Structures are given as C-alpha cells and as structure tokens.
Amino acid sequence: MRSRILGYHEIVEGPSDSFYSLSAEQFSHQLAVFNALATAGGPAVDITFDDGHASNARVAAPLLHAHARTARFFVTAGWIGQREGFMSWAELGELARQGHQVGCHGLTHRFLTQLDTADLRAELRDARRLLEDRLGQAVTGISLPGGRCNRRVLDMCAETGYQRVYGSVPWKEGGDRAGIAFEGRLVMNRKMSQAWLQRYVRGDLAPYLAIRTLHTTRETLKSLLGDRLYHRAWSLLTGRSGMQANAR
Ligand SMILES: [Zn+2]
C-alpha cells in the first residue's frame, strides 16, 4: 500500500542547491495544493520532517501555520542546541507548543543497522530520554536515519519504548509487529514536479511504480558496493557532504 506520509528535510529561503532541500516557495505551493485536494474530497497527506534543521522552525513552521497545518518533526536528539544549522531546544519546544508532534531521529544519526546491540540500545534509549526530559512530554515515534531498517532495529525500537516507526520508502518495510507499527513515507526532493506529486498523492500507479523500480536499483547497488561505499557515492550525487552524519 502506498503511503501519503511525506518526508521533508530542509526548507530554504531562495533557490535550493541540495537534492533533499526544497525552496520555501516550492514547499508553500505544495501545502496549498494539498489543502485544495483535501477540500475537494481528495486524499489527505501527512507531513513529516527529518534531522531537525534550524529551517524547520524558522522557515517551515511559519508556512505550515499560514496553511493551517501541523507536522511531525523527527529530530536527531544529540544535535539539538549543539550543532550549527540545527534547532535550539527553545525552538523545538516552541514547535511542540504550536501543536506539532516531535519524534526521534536517533541520538547521533548513525545508521541503526550498523550498530552492535549495546550501541543500538543506547542510541535509541538515550535519544528518547533526552527528548522527553527536555520537552516534558512522551516521545513514541521515530524515523530511521538513512531509512536503514531491519528486524533487529525494529525489535530494539519496541524494546526501548517506541510505538511507531517511520521509514524512507512509501510502503511498509518489515511490517507491523507486536508493540510497533511501521509507516512508509515518500521522501521529498526538489526535483519532484507539482504535476508528478499530485499524481502520486491522488494514487496513480505510475509514479509509485517508478519509485519501486528506483528503490530496487539502489538496493542492488547497495548490496554490490556495501552500505558505506554506496552511501558515500549517493551523498556525492545528491549534494550532501558524504558524511554519514549528514545523511537523510
Ligand atoms: Zn536523517
């Protein structure tokens, strides 16, 4: 089943030069189209953000407010108030007060599939504790850094108190299991045309099948190159720095 949950990263003022960043103008236009579709009886979409970029609070939140929408913000807990270009705790708290949901995107953004059991447990548990302590509210949703997912990761998400896991492909990966629900997402990039996106949201098969084909190709490359080398190549192609810490 194709998901209408959308996964954004940065929203930038002016033109975007990174594959996963959208301009404020592009994002605002998409929100207007989603609202028009819903008003006309069409499908609703859910909006999520990954990583915790400062632009989420400074650029995206005012646009969401202008279009009477709320979103889910999955943040890399260890980067909040610590890392240049990412939100402060005050900004994240303000998003929560505005009615947005806050979720976890790991503590350090390391790919969860690459951690041993002790590190995996600490990464998930400490991130949730830090967010809950600083925000004073329960955090039960997590999006997986780099979309990297397997059974071991999902089981540990359940063990460390998460109830809902968000991936980076628009179908269920790993499926529901005891104590945890998996949500697929369409990861947004600046190359998606408005017409393509509308076809996708309306449920046309062609854009969905194109995503599945691209995913199969990428998974094949990943298995040929190994995940680390694959990720370096993909980061270079998409204008990211090549550091795992900056991965989607
Ligand atoms: Zn990420």
Q: What angle do CA 162, 167, 170 make, to 5 degrees?
A: 135
Q: How far is the CA of 42 from the centre of ligand 1 (A)?
A: 30
Q: How far is the CA of 177 from the centre of ligand 1 (A)?
A: 24
Number of other CB atoms surrounding residue 223 within 10 Å: 10
Q: How far is Cα 50 from Cα 64, in angstroms, rounded to an integer? A: 16
Q: How far is Cα 51 from Cα 10, in angstroms, rounded to an integer? A: 9
Q: How far is the CA of 39 from the centre of ligand 1 (A)?
A: 32
Q: What is the CATH number assigned to the segment(s) 5-197? A: 3.20.20.370
Q: Are the C-beta atoms of residues 161 and 138 closer than 8 Å to each other?
A: no
Helix axes 205-225, 194-202, angle to 10 degrees: 100
Each domain of the chain, given as residue ranges in start order, spans: 5-197
pLDDT band at 209; cut points 50, 70, 90: confident
pLDDT band at 240; cut points 50, 70, 90: low
pLDDT band at 245; cut points 50, 70, 90: very low
Q: How far is the CA of 60 from the centre of ligand 1 (A)?
A: 17
The chain-wide mean pLDDT, for the chain, equals 91
Return the residue matching tokens 């939100």.
87
pLDDT at 73 over 80: yes
pLDDT at 219 over 70: yes
| Cα four-point dihedral sign 22, 25, 29, 32 | positive
SS3 136: coil
For position 244, what pLDDT does the model report?
43
Number of H helices, E strands in the chain: 9, 10
Helix axes 117-135, 151-159, angle to 10 degrees: 40
Q: Would you give the distance in Å from CA 82 to the centre of its chain?
A: 20
For position 179, what pLDDT does the model report?
80
Q: How far is the CA of 208 from the centre of ligand 1 (A)?
A: 22
Q: How far is the CA of 246 from the centre of ligand 1 (A)?
A: 7
For position 97, what pLDDT does the model report?
97
Q: What is the mean pLDDT of residues 47-60?
A: 98
pLDDT at 152 over 60: yes
pLDDT in tens, 110-151: 999 999 999 999 999 999 999 999 999 999 999 999 999 999
Greatest mean pLDDT among 35-39, 95-99, 231-235 lies in 95-99
Q: How far is the CA of 109 from the centre of ligand 1 (A)?
A: 6
Return the residue matching tokens 């790919």.
111
Q: What is the share, in percent, of the chain residues with pLDDT greater than 90?
A: 69
For position 247, what pLDDT does the model report?
46
Q: How far is Cα 12 from Cα 183, in angstroms, rounded to an integer? A: 26
Q: How far is the CA of 235 from the centre of ligand 1 (A)?
A: 12
Q: Going by C-beta distance under 8 Å and a sequence separation of 6 or more, which residues neighbour residue 1?
A: 171, 172, 184
